[in-house]
Amino acid sequence: MLIDDGLEILTEAQCEALLSSRTLGRIGVTIGGLPAIFPVNYAYVDGSVVFRTGPGAKLRAASRGIVVAFEIDGYDATLQAGWSVLVIGRAAEVTDELELARLAASTLSPWAGGSREYYVRVEAEVVSGRRIVSAGVGA
Amino acid sequence: MLIDDGLEILTEAQCEALLSSRTLGRIGVTIGGLPAIFPVNYAYVDGSVVFRTGPGAKLRAASRGIVVAFEIDGYDATLQAGWSVLVIGRAAEVTDELELARLAASTLSPWAGGSREYYVRVEAEVVSGRRIVSAGVGA
């Protein structure tokens, strides 16, 4: 489906395939009333974005069940081509012992060291994606 | 400066150098009460992030002077190394004729085609950045 601003809408299946193929995304949270965006290493598990975090804004968002945005994208600067996928959902800390054990055995490993003992899940309630179909022509 | 979760804080000068060296970032806006993150091609001009857009959520945020988040990052998946810079500021549509002429003559060109005749500026009121200093060690 082509929308009118030079972007093509991706299907949900395309979005899910892209979510499953990547490991780095960005999460939008609110800190002290101000918006913020941070990169996170994630896994896409059973329709949810899951990542590890330490005590901080991302965990607080999860504890309060706040609706957050999560984004991944891929770009080729030479071709001026690219795509992005946006996930919107409620953040929740994973507390179920069985699920924690399963996640701990997974490949989900944050790049940054330090203490990141909490797992946060963002259930993908809204998934959308778009792809650039025509390069900008200057001006 | 080293903070306790395996991340090093970047100086403002380092953040500004990174902002000046890149052309693709992500902006966090709110659509219908829900958070969203979209990639944008941008330029860093006189302490502001500037990008072109069509009529939509990003322009509405600018029209209402809303505080938005803007993020850039760079990663090396093999090294599990990376950095990110976060800009927080009020979005404003650029309406000054002289400034518009100067921006139109710049290299600021969106990759996506379609109608993107508006310029939005996010004055960098808060700039922060961080860099991974130690890779995650599994588990």
Confidence (pLDDT) at B57: 81
Burial class (CB in 10 A: 0-12, 13-18, 19+), B51: buried
Please provide the average confidence, as pLDDT, over all residues in chain A: 85
The rounded percent of chain A whose pLDDT value lies above 70 is 88
Q: Which amino acid is at A94?
A: V
Those of residues 36-65 in A touching chain B at CB distance below 8 A are: 36-39, 41, 54, 56
Please tell me which residue, A8 or A81, carries the higher pLDDT value.
A8
Residue A33 clears pLDDT 50, i.e. is over it: yes
A43-49 average pLDDT score: 93
Task: Name the token pair of A136.
Answer: 């900008």
pLDDT digits (tens, 9 = 90+) for A65-92: 889 999 999 987 777 788 999 999 999 9
- Closest partner CB to A111 (pick from B39, B114, B136): B136
Which range scores top for mean pLDDT: A83-97, B71-85, B122-136? Answer: A83-97
Give the number of other Cβ atoms within 10 Å of residue B75's Cβ.
17
Residue A115 clears pLDDT 70, i.e. is over it: no
CA distance B29 to chain A (A): 9
Q: Does A9 touch chain B (CB under 8 A)?
A: no
Please tell me which residue, A11 or B64, carries the higher pLDDT value.
A11
Confidence (pLDDT) at A103: 84
Please tell me which residue, A87 or B134, carries the higher pLDDT value.
A87
Q: Does B111 touch chain A (CB under 8 A)?
A: yes
B56-65 average pLDDT score: 84
Confidence (pLDDT) at A16: 96
How far is residue B60's CA from residue A72's CA, in Å, rounded to a whole number?
Answer: 23
Contacts A–B by Cβ distance under 8 A: 152
Confidence (pLDDT) at A38: 92
CATH: 1.20.58.220, 2.30.110.10, 2.60.40.10, 3.40.50.1260. Which one for A7-132? 2.30.110.10
Q: How confident is the model at residue B134 (pLDDT cuts 50, 70, 90)?
A: low
Confidence (pLDDT) at A106: 75
Contact call for B73 and A137, based on CB within 8 A: no
The pTM of the full predicted model, rounded to 2 decimals, is 0.86
- For chain A, the structural domain boundaries read 7-132
CA distance B77 to chain A (A): 9
Q: Which residue has the tokens 């929308």?
A: A3
Confidence (pLDDT) at B32: 78
- A85: Cβ–Cβ under 8 A, 6 or more apart, which residues? A10, A15, A18, A19, A71, A72, A73, A127, A128, A129
- Closest partner CB to A69 (pick from B36, B68, B114): B36
CA distance B52 to chain A (A): 11
B81-102 average pLDDT score: 92
- Closest partner CB to B69 (pick from A37, A67, A80): A37
Q: How confident is the model at residue B106 (pLDDT cuts 50, 70, 90)?
A: confident
A116: which chain B residues are within 8 Å (Cβ-Cβ)? 5, 136
B105-127 average pLDDT score: 81
Please tell me which residue, A139 or A32, carries the higher pLDDT value.
A32
A83 near A10, Cβ under 8 Å?
Answer: yes
The per-residue DSSP string of chain A comes to: -B-TTSEEEPPHHHHHHHHHH--EEEEEEEETTEEEEEEEEEEEETTEEEEEE-SSHHHHHHHTT-EEEEEEEEEETTTTEEEEEEEEEEEEE---HHHHHHHHTSS---SB-S---EEEEEE-SEEEEEEE-SB----
B34: which chain A residues are within 8 Å (Cβ-Cβ)? 67, 69, 88, 126
- Closest partner CB to B112 (pick from A6, A36, A114): A6
